Chains A and B, each alone.
Chain A
Amino acid sequence: EAEVAQSPRYKITEKSQAVAFWCDPISGHATLYWYRQILGQGPELLVQFQDESVVDDSQLPKDRFSAERLKGVDSTLKIQPAELGDSAMYLCASSLDGQAWYEQYFGPGTRLTVT
């Protein structure tokens, strides 16, 4: 069964350092999402791509976060510089276009700890 791939699975970094996360969506899924999940809360959307274009990045802290999906396939989320409050699970998801977009398929996530 096709899956969303993410790496690394775990990342520990010191504050003020740069970190990057990678996501490879399910083949054929045009829409890609990056979510942040803080412990005890539900996932919150950071950025949404349709192919290589950003559809929604209204919740992305653009002073330190950036995301790209250059060829409309895999994607990278970067944080520079990392802050203690960025410690969370970063989830990538993908979906098909049309009505099926509701049903998003999530990767295993990257657990970020900032010390």
Chain B
Amino acid sequence: DQQVKQNSPSLSVQEGRISILNCDYTNSMFDYFLWYKKYPAEGPTFLISISSIKDKNEDGRFTVFLNKSAKHLSLHIVPSQPGDSAVYFCAAPQGGKLIFGQGTELSVKP
């Protein structure tokens, strides 16, 4: 049972445009969400998070939006840069561990 889902395995965006990565979850008890970024041959690195008491959190070019009624969150990257090309995972804490989505591979074209 996949509690955190990223239904788009890949996304291609032009440099300078907006990248929008989506994540859906099924467990309404989740109260915190994180986004991790992973380059090839490296481990995931923490990018940004959001608590369920908020609907938006912004950090520079990265903004995460949370829609609790739809059980949906999204990561916006504006403007997108070639260095943003990576796999992005959303994750939620549950019972002391993180539940990860399947990941979305973002490719930003120059």
Within 8 A of A (CB), among B79-104: 89, 91, 93, 95-98, 100-103
- In the docked arrangement, what's the CA distance between A111 and B42, Å? 10
- In the docked arrangement, what's the CA distance between A55 and B96, Å? 9
Q: Tell me whether chain B's interface is mostly helix, strand or loop, or mixed.
A: strand
List, in ascending order, chain A residues with CB within 8 A of B36's CB. 106
Contact A102 B32 (CB under 8 A): yes
How many A-B pairs have beta carbons closer than 8 Å: the answer is: 60
Contact A109 B43 (CB under 8 A): yes
List, in ascending order, chain A residues with CB within 8 A of B43's CB. 4, 6, 91-93, 106-109
How far does the Cβ of A56 sit from chain B's closest Cβ, in whole Å? 6
Contact B96 A101 (CB under 8 A): yes
Within 8 A of B (CB), among A18-45: 33, 40-45
Contact A105 B102 (CB under 8 A): no
